[in-house]
Structure 1
């Protein structure tokens, strides 16, 4: 709507004509730095063409608050569930969430105040940062603290400092419940196809697995405990090794759903039926669990709720509030489906 048309232009009209969102148009209008040069130029041109005049008095559109959300892997169903929880909470609260991946450049050499990840985020107008299932260095964490950039991590692979605020689930209890379920079905030779050895969540699931066995009077045999990535291929490789043992397991507890699907494929390739010949339990309860054939028995993490709690916790830190605890764990629960069954012949193995 060019100037002189007789109708007062609104910022929503400007945003529509420029092909951007209303918050982006507002950022340009208010001089925010977190907009690309090309987008800024396009919006400014439309503002001039429309003869846009900001309303006096109280603004009808306020600059959006912006936080960063970074993943080590954006392809997994786990990441998508976390993402959904955080973005829905952001929409409800009125916070923009910028999504990306952990910058690889941070691993290339020593950090300086000018090029650090924290400084780049701060100069772009970010108020805080949520990091999901990534490994952070002590230098990065200290950089966030120096920049005054609050940080919350979800399911961290490590915690360089104990005071780093984190959100997770009751991984130990989940590992315990999964293994107790298999024991209740008569399985005694139970394997653990775990995640990365240093990962805190994988370690907690392993400890729950061991505790359930020990409580029942059994020991976790070293040959039945393996570790790999939280990926399908890792589950396939670990299960291939486990099922090639002279005395293979009758059940496998996998550290996440993607790993569990790899385990099920390894069983299929050996001509084994799930659950008639081998039972499989996963962890997470992503969409993969219900789509599997048979549907996967798994430990449910409240992933969307974890995302919502992480964002609300970050906003409390940004506001300068003191938290009651640096670590929050949400409850897990076992969801029994078709991939587990009683041991058919307890004397066979």
Structure 2
């Protein structure tokens, strides 16, 4: 196996020159650089990543912290970020807090990434408080937060306007004539879930519509919790013509559960989801959903971590507006009654 000394000998330069070339040091002349590159190709030399990181004082690795690897939302985020980093020869280390029961355990996931010498860290952290995030940023400045809205850290927080997303869902149901409405919420200890729920409730209230407390159930974000929450609503026997779910997993589980109980979605009840994941249009019936531009959010967050860690000057946008994708799972009250 070729060594750095072999490369230096073949290129006719010193070992120190090869080392500076590998670290990206601009002091290496173009002529010497060409000789070194040619020698590396001829010898099929691959630089030791550990030695290179010691020389350049960076690892070319970015950490990604997410609350869970399950579900389409975070998979999309991961795929987008990994693709953007790979374009610039950077790599990713993952950590998730799926089994964490408190903030202390969640912070340990961050420590895991820091201990692995990540150049910077991207965090999707809906359950950590603003105070906790401020402490993290003070301790580790090369951090960017995804799906959080913190005015004091506006250039390091990338998110959609979830309050407006909730209002869009409510507006759609109001336009369809619905007044008997049920809700399966997301995790109500998370900022995004609280914001979309409040936006939904506020817009309904502006039209004189109040959701009965008995028709609000917590569903988390999984298929299982969405199914269980929908079944609890059905078991109460309180009529509703529309159901708003905190994410698309819950909404698709709700469609399945309602249909199994003989309540046909699109004919007897309308269901609207949130996020507009790729599977939403393939549900049966296809799911009306509030679209969060997750790919754009992830790309911009990734650009900012590249700016912070590697001196790039990529343009960024930090705030994004949701839109509504209307499909077959929602119909007007009049249409429902006629079916």
TM-score (normalised: structure 1): 0.73
Q: Does 1:332 align with 2:318?
A: no
Question: Which residue of the partner structure matches residue 135 of structure 2?
Answer: 142
CA gap of 1:207–1:267, structure 2 versus 1, over 3 A, is same
Instruction: Give the secondary-structure state (helix, strand or coil) at the position aligned to 2:82.
Output: helix
In structure 2, do the counterparts of structure 1 residues 92 and 293 end up closer, same or farther at CA, with 3 Å as the change threshold?
same
Aligned residue pair count: 301
Give, in angstroms, the shift of residue 316 of structure 1.
3.9
Change (3 A) 1:108 1:277: closer
**CA-CA distance at 1:279 after TM superposition:** 0.6
- How far, CA to CA, are the matches of 1:11 and 1:199 in structure 2? 55
> Equivalent residue for 1:230?
221
- Using a 3 Å threshold, how does the CA distance of structure 1 residues 178 and 29 change in structure 2: closer, same or farther? same
In structure 2, the residue matched to 1:290 is: 281
Q: CA deviation at 1:292?
A: 0.9
The answer as to whether partners of 1:106 and 1:117 remain within 8 angstroms in 2 is no
Separation in 2, partners of 1:208, 1:11: 63
Offset, 1:102: 3.7
Which range moved further: 93-102 or 255-264? Answer: 93-102
Unaligned runs of 5+ in 1: 16-24, 34-58
Conservation of the 8 A alpha-carbon contact between 2:58 and 2:119: no
- The residue correspondences of 1:1-349 to structure 2 (distance < 5 A) are 8-10=39-41, 13-14=44-45, 25-32=47-54, 65-102=60-97, 121-136=113-128, 142=135, 145-146=138-139, 148-156=140-148, 163=153, 165-318=156-309, 328-344=318-334
Query: Which has the larger helix fraction?
Result: 2
User: 1:295/1:13 Cα in 2 relative to 1: closer, same or farther (>3 Å)?
Assistant: farther
Cα distance in structure 2, aligned partners of 1:309 and 1:179: 29
1:169 CA drift (Å): 0.8
> Pairwise CA RMSD of aligned residues?
3.8
Quick one: distance in 2 between partners of 1:302 and 1:337?
18
* SS of residue in 1 equivalent to 2:302: helix
Quote the offset at 1:197 in angstroms.
Answer: 1.3
**Alignment CA distance shift 1:151-1:290 (3 Å):** same
Identify if the C-alpha distance between structure 1 residues 253 and 150 changes in structure 2 by more than 3 Å, giving closer, same or farther.
same
Q: Measure, in 1, the Cα distance between the counterparts of 2:77 and 2:63.
A: 14
- Which residue pairs with 1:37 in the alignment? none
Following superposition, the deviation at residue 162 of structure 1 comes to 5.4
Secondary structure of 2:236 counterpart: coil
Q: Which moved more, 1:190-199 or 1:85-94?
A: 85-94
CA distance in 1, matches of 2:331, 2:53: 62
Q: Quick one: distance in 2 between partners of 1:134 and 1:66?
A: 23
Q: Secondary structure at the match of 1:10?
A: helix
Please give the TM-score of this superposition, normalised by the length of structure 2.
0.75
Cα distance in 1, alignment partners of residues 123 and 283 from structure 2: 29
- Supply the distance in 2 between the matched residues of 1:85 and 1:289 (Cα, whole angstroms): 19
- Cα pair distance change 1:265/1:12, threshold 3 Å: farther
String of CA shifts for 1:311-343, please: whole Å, max 9, x gaps: 12233444799xxx9x93311100011111122
Paired with 2:192 and 2:113, the residues of 1 have a C-alpha distance of 28
CA–CA distance in structure 1, aligned partners of residues 242 and 138 of structure 2 = 45
